[in-house]
């Protein structure tokens, strides 16, 4: 079996696993009565849904990508001018920064430990998003 086929099979298997997690977590959420636990289980469920969607998109792209082409080298159809894209990315970076500031303030004032954990998880996601967008900008525009 060629390497690409093994990778596509692995991705398909992982999609199935993520979808199983979604089903399990959804059922578990229905049974849990504590608000913080229910919200954390929702977060986990949405993470699995997100991963399944990313993996499905990845599988579709890899099926169409030329052999031995990295994802940063593989261009998809469609084009938007570089100046417009840079402006959009900069706007997103600003929103991300504003969101992190808001989350920091909320974390300082929150006394509820369950709510604090949820805010911290959201803050971690936002920091990850900031790193992702910086990586995209760096690789698209070869900016350090």
Q: Is the pTM for the entire model greater than 0.85?
A: no
Q: Where are the domains of the chain?
A: 1-77, 79-144
Planar angle of CA 126, 120, 25, nearest 5 degrees? 90
**pLDDT by residue (tens digit) across 62-107?**
998 887 778 888 777 766 777 788 888 888 888 989 999 999 999 9
> Using an 8 Å Cβ cutoff, are 65 and 113 in contact?
no
Burial of 57 (0-12, 13-18, 19+ CB in 10 A): exposed
Q: Residue 4: is its pLDDT beyond 70?
A: no
| 104's tokens | 């920091």
pLDDT number for residue 1 = 39
User: Left (φ > 0), alpha (ψ -120 to 50) or beta: where does 78 sit?
Assistant: left
Distance CA 44, CA 20 (A): 12
pLDDT number for residue 124 = 94
| 82's tokens | 């570089």
Distance CA 118, CA 20 (A): 23
Question: What is the average pLDDT across 107-122?
Answer: 93
Nearest to 70 by CA among 58, 86, 56: 58
Distance CA 98, CA 106 (A): 13
Q: Residue 130: is its pLDDT beyond 70?
A: yes
CATH code linked to domain 79-144: 1.20.58
pLDDT number for residue 143 = 56
**pLDDT by residue (tens digit) across 13-55?**
999 999 999 999 999 999 999 999 999 999 999 999 999 999 9
User: Left (φ > 0), alpha (ψ -120 to 50) or beta: where does 136 sit?
Assistant: alpha
């Amino acid at each position: 079996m060629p390497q690409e086929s093994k990778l596509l099979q692995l991705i398909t298997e992982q999609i199935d696993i993520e979808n199983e997690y979604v089903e399990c977590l959804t059922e578990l959420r229905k049974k849990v009565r504590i608000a913080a636990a229910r919200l954390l289980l929702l977060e986990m469920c949405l993470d699995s849904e997100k991963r399944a969607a990313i993996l499905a998109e990845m599988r579709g792209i890899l099926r169409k990508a030329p052999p031995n082409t990295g994802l940063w080298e593989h261009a998809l159809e469609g084009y938007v001018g570089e100046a417009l894209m840079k402006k959009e990315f900069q706007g997103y970076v600003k929103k991300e920064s504003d969101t992190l500031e808001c989350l920091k303030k909320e974390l300082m004032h929150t006394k509820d430990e369950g709510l604090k954990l949820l805010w911290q998880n959201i803050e971690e996601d936002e920091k990850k998003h900031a790193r992702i967008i910086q990586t995209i900008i760096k690789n698209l525009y070869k900016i350090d």
